[in-house]
Structure 1
Amino acid sequence: MVVAAVLAVTASAGMPIGYSAILLPQLNNTNSTLKINENLGSWIASIHSLSSPIGSLLSGPLLDLIGRKTLLQIATIPLCLGWILIGFSSTQHIWLMLVGRIFCGTAVGLTAVAGQVLVGECSDAGIRGFLMSLLMVAYSSGIAIVYILGVFNWRTVAFSSIILPIIALISMTFITESPAWLVKHNKINEAKLALLWLRGNDEKQVNLELTILENRSNTDLFIKKNKSKINIIKLITNITSGIKTNIFHLEIIKPLVIINLFFLLQVLSGTYLIVFYGVDIIRDIGGEEIDNYIAGILMAVVRIICCGISCILFLKIGRRTIALISASGTALSSLILAGFFMKNNDSYIDKYIVIICVFMYVCLNTIGLMTLPGLLIGELLPQRARGVGGGFTMFLFNFALFGVAKIFPMIKNAIGIAGVFGIFGIAASLETLFTWLVLPETKNRTLQDIEDYFKDGNILWISKTRRKC
């Protein structure tokens, strides 16, 4: 039930992501009642990602202060307000469109880490990867819902998009808070009740998990108190020579660096640009012979199917294997597309071949590069840094996504669609190398095992000194 409620929130968060793909073609239509130019269109598409970092930064401290469940409930409020503002925007009041996108972006930033953390902390290690990857299925479903609704006027889509967040808000009232958060705030009895509810009243399993959570929480509290004293002293004594590396908690910095570099290369490989500008990209590739909206909907459906496939794969094979297949497949398909576009083949059959290749790119990209980042936040970061660290990560991710989405039209005009897919291919190739060198395997490992792996001084997976993780 926890997963179902979080899935509803996550699907709600996916809808604003895909909205620009159906909004911009309608606004660029000569019969549109709301007129925009290319620059304003790029702002409408990208300002969502500019505001998402605000929500991401707020989500870090709020996750620890008010809890994962409460934060997800609060996030549905600006999401609904944003859709209402978008629905009432006009040429004379275009600022309503932009403010509405900001509200939606902030809400998405609030939910991104909270959902992953709540599911990760409530689920058993054996099925954690499967359950967390379901969130990306819901996310992709939200995008697909907007694409399907794109046959209607963009105002109708905006007002219709209020329904799902309301359902999500109601469903969240029937689930429990994260046991880890409850233990951290010394609500032991509530944590035990939550675990009993989650584990089907298995007293032995609940007592074991509760003991581990209490020990980990006490250890983190001790480290936090002692580190804060040490940091102040060292900061004063080293103010002229710099702060030494060990002040910054290497067991936190190492997973943060891995996650953020993975995110950055994912953005540069085009994962979300295909979402933001999907219909426009298909139009550029296929021209008038291709039904852009049907192709966009099919792309969204393919993304959902591939997310579902990735859920099954997470149960069967390791995270590293999935990441390597996805990154290398994305690189290969992108570079093939870049080469194909450079030939300037304009025949009817050639265009359909290219469309098929684009769908292959979407499939290979989705099964790993799109589904793994959220899972990495929930698994690699230690408990005491999961809120703030996750929020910081999503801040950087959304800021990078804003920059890339904002300049994408300019880059596409300058180097063409062949150059765009060339960049995607290079970034995905670097992602493949980075994954092989650094990304740890976390399948069937407890969150405590993963945390201990980084405490042992490991950086490169290929030269790790510990085989437990």
Structure 2
Amino acid sequence: MCDSNTDQPNEFTSLKQDMAKNDLSENSKEQAKKSEWIQIACSLMANATVLSSGMGLGFPAITLEELRREDNPMRLNDEQASWFASLNTLICPLGGILSATILDQIGRRFTLVLINILAIISWGLMYFSSQTDFDQMFWQILLGRFLIGVTIGLSSSPAAVYSAEIATPKLRGRLTTFTSLAIAVGILMIYTLGFIFPDDWRKVAGISAIFSIFTLGLIYFMPESPSWLISRGRTDEARKALAYIRAIKHDELYTSEILNEEMQRFYDQINSRNNCENDSLWSILKRPEIYKPLAIINAFFAFQQFSGTFVVVVYASQFAEEAGSGIDKFLCTVLIGIARVIATIILAYFILDRYGRKPPSIFSGIGMTISMLILAVYSSSFAQNLPYANWISTFCLLAYITTSTFGFLTIPFAMLPELFPQRVRGVTAGMTVCVAYFMSFIAIKSYPSMLDFMGNNGVFLLYSIVSLFGTIFVYLLLPETKGKTLQEIENLFKRQISNSAEKV
């Protein structure tokens, strides 16, 4: 009897404990879900700034037709038009250098503020450019393109770095593709505006300026990166920012295990950085965890640029015409923009976190190789009279856009903030953006000359060959970062060197 009475309280206590555990589990799931939405919202607000960069990249595609029209009294010649199209990519490295400098100095949020201010000025210059004095108009739009180039270079890494630093490993792959998605959406927006206002590029520039004012306002609602705050000694602000991002209640600010563990990881990264502060840049670059990912990502960007991905963005309407598209070239540019946005969304939400970075990149390279090879064949003079040649060319152009977006166009930007240690992430990301956009300038500026020298089928064949070599590079050398923390990725490159030394 006594035993029975003793057992009942124990069973009751055990039941209460089980119920408490279930409540904690449900609360944890609810907290994790809320945190995911906060991470997505913060990343979207950061990447809204990048929309203007996409609009700037695609702007020549909708303006060159009007600016080069024979009956236009303010007509640009071929040389002036090529500078208008490519100047922004020549200046992008300057933005990349500035990004490397200021990203770690003034923080991720204020870098985004600066980007929006420059974008507003650049679009304003083009909107208010002279309509009567050609020389004045030309230099005003060139200055606008110069500033948009600085803006594009500046914006290529801050939003992606911010997203990588606030994201959990589960979401990091998806969030870091938001930069590429924002560029794709920005390009689609400018193509659509060009389709609606085909003869009024100034109005398009004015609408773009208004949009940059809107994205500037969004930054007010973003917390600063906790990682950057800790690096500046602002520990309390970092803890509050991280608690907000992880959906942790204020009364758990100092008791949450999740929060304390993440704060400790940030401290460890900062301590590692502080140990290197007295080292020269050259000595840092000689470390395997720095120079190996730097070489890999720059090579990936080289294959991205010289396989024609950005050429199609800038010369979309002309490219569609050269490819022998069977539909209106301005409508084709809109379809190109739509294909790119859809492919980026599919990559971000259904592919990247499930299959990683390497398999989609291999698929992308194969698709680009085949699409460009078929375009080269069908743009040849002997193929012009083949059945459905125009529609096959249109299909291959859209297939190239779609498959390039699944890998070569987007994944280098997604991997940019993943591959480098926190202590040098700003510098190395800025250096990489600098090199990437300089290569982009070469590819875009040389495209008209290549067309004259090689013909459109020769250019398409060259892009096919570069895509093939890029696919081989990805298969042999690109590391897989899916599901790894940023520290694990850093250790991966250290371990590769250690394993090689042990084998020797």
Letter in 2 for 1:205: I
2:451 aligned with 1:404: no
1:459–1:377 distance in 2 versus 1, CA, 3 Å: farther
SS at match of 1:378: coil
1:184 to 217, 231, 236: 231
Letter in 1 for 2:414: L
Alignment of 1:276 with 2:314, yes or no, is yes
**In the TM superposition, what is the alpha-carbon distance from 1:29 to its structure 2 partner?**
1.8
Task: Tell which structure's C-alpha radius of gyration is larger.
Answer: 2
- By how many angstroms is 1:464 displaced? 12
Contact 2:308/2:443, CA 8 A, preserved across alignment = no
SS at match of 1:440: coil
Q: Equivalent residue for 1:382?
A: 421
Contact 2:368–2:403 (Cα < 8 Å) also in 1: yes
Q: Counterparts of 1:459 and 1:416 in 2: how far apart (Å)? A: 49
The answer to whether residue 477 in structure 2 is matched with residue 438 in structure 1 is yes
Matched residue, 1:46: 86
* Bigger mean CA offset, 372-381 vs 131-140: 131-140
Match of 1:98 in 2: 142
Name the residue aligned to 1:340: 378
Deviations 1:328-365 (A, max 9, x none): 21112212221222353224721111111111111111
Cα separation, 2, equivalents of 1:246 and 1:60:
15
Q: Alignment partner of 1:64: what SS?
A: coil
Answering whether residue 350 of structure 2 is matched by residue 306 of structure 1, we say no
Corresponding position of 1:423: 462
Letter of the structure 1 residue corresponding to residue 191 of structure 2:
Y
Determine the structure 1 residue equivalent to 2:245.
198
**Residues 459 and 96 of structure 1, relative CA distance in 2, 3 Å threshold:** farther
Could you give the per-residue CA deviations for residues 102-137 of structure 1, whole angstroms, max 9, x where no partner exists?
Answer: 011101111111111001101111111111112212
Residues in 1 aligned to 2:501 and 2:347: alpha-carbon distance in whole angstroms: 27
Alpha-carbon distance in structure 1 between the residues aligned to 2:335 and 2:498: 41
The yes-or-no answer on 1:213 pairing with 2:257 is no
Q: How far has the Cα of 1:4 moved from its partner?
A: 2.1
Compare 331-340 and 102-111 and name the one that shifted more. 331-340
CA contact (8 A) 1:345 1:351 kept: no
Equivalent AA in structure 1 for residue 241 of structure 2 = A
Taking a change above 3 Å as real, the CA distance of residues 92 and 146 of structure 1, as seen in their structure-2 partners, is same
Instruction: Provide Cα deviations, 1:377-435, integer angstroms capped at 9, x if missing partner.
Output: 11001111110100011111111111111111000111111111111111111111111
Would you say 1:330 and 2:368 are equivalent positions? yes
* 1:7 Cα deviation after fit: 2.5
**Contact 1:254–1:454 under 8 Å retained in 2:** yes
Determine which of 68, 72, 85 is the counterpart of 1:28: 68
| Aligned-partner Cα distance in 1 for 2:115–2:127 | 19
Shift of residue 247, structure 1, vs aligned partner: 7.0
1:111 paired to 2:155: yes
Select between 170-179 and 289-298 the one with higher mean Cα deviation. Answer: 289-298
**Structure 2: how far apart are the matches of 1:194 and 1:59?**
23
Structure 1 position 86 matched with structure 2 position 126: yes
Q: Is the 8 A contact 2:115 2:154 kept in 1?
A: yes
DSSP 3-state at the match of 2:49: helix
> 2: CA distance between counterparts of 1:458 and 1:418?
43
Separation (CA, whole Å) in 2 of partners of 1:28 and 1:290: 21
Q: Does 1:355 align with 2:399?
A: no
| TM-score where L is the length of structure 2 | 0.85
Alignment partner of 1:68 is 2:111:
no
Q: CA deviation at 1:30?
A: 2.7
Q: Secondary structure at the match of 1:66?
A: coil
For residues 423 and 357 of structure 1, the distance between their equivalents in structure 2, rounded to whole angstroms, comes to 16
Output one character per residue of 1:238-296: Cα deviation in whole Å (capped at 9) or x when no partner.
xxxxx9x8872221111100000000111011111000001011122337x53110111
More displaced stretch, 160-169 vs 192-201: 160-169
Measure the CA separation in 2 of the matches of 1:65 and 1:344.
59
**Deviation, structure 1 residue 142:** 0.5
Could you tell me which runs of 5 or more consecutive residues in structure 1 were left unpaired when the two chains were aligned.
232-242
Q: Say if 2:58 and 2:313, in contact at 8 Å, map to a contact too.
A: yes
For residues 204 and 343 of structure 1, the distance between their equivalents in structure 2, rounded to whole angstroms, comes to 68
Amino acid at match of 2:435: L
**Any conservation in 2 of the 1:254–1:459 contact (CA below 8 Å)?**
no
- In 2, the alpha carbon distance for the partners of 1:459 and 1:351 equals 55
Instruction: Check 1:281–1:439 CA distance in 2 against 1; reply closer, same or farther (3 A cut).
Output: same
- Residue aligned with 2:50, SS: helix
1:189-228 residue CA offsets vs partner (Å, 9 max, x unmatched): 1111111010000722111100011012112211333x45
Question: Would you say 1:140 and 2:184 are equivalent positions?
Answer: yes
Cα distance in 2 for partners of 1:254, 1:166 equals 39
- Give the aligned length: 448
Alpha-carbon distance in 2 for matches of 1:61, 1:248: 20
**Alpha carbons of 1:63 and 1:406: their partners in 2 closer, same or farther (altered >3 Å)?**
same
Q: Which amino acid in the other structure matches residue 480 of structure 2?
A: E
Alpha-carbon RMSD: 2.0
Where structure 2 has 5 or more consecutive residues not aligned to the other structure, the ranges are 1-40, 250-255
Q: How far apart, in 2, do the equivalents of 1:367 and 1:459 lie?
A: 33
8 Å Cα contact 1:16-1:104 kept in structure 2 = yes
Give me the whole-angstrom Cα distance separating, in 1, the residues matched to 2:147 and 2:498. Answer: 38
Deviations 1:19-41 (A, max 9, x none): 00001011122343421111111
Q: Are the equivalent residues in 1 in contact too, given 2:44–2:178 (CA < 8 A)? A: no
Whether 1:121 aligns to 2:168 is: no
Aligned 8 A contact 2:481 2:489 in 1: yes
Does 2:59 correspond to 1:19?
yes
Cα deviation 1:411-467 (Å, max 9, x = unaligned): 01111111111111111111111111111110010000001111224499xx9999x
Letter in 2 for 1:176: P
Q: 2:332 pairs with 284, 288, 295, which one?
A: 295
State how far apart, in whole Å, the 2-side matches of 1:459 and 1:79 are: 46
Residue 375 of structure 2 contacts residue 397 of structure 2 at CA under 8 Å; is this kept in 1? yes
**Paired residues of 2:308 and 2:463 also in contact (CA < 8 A):** yes
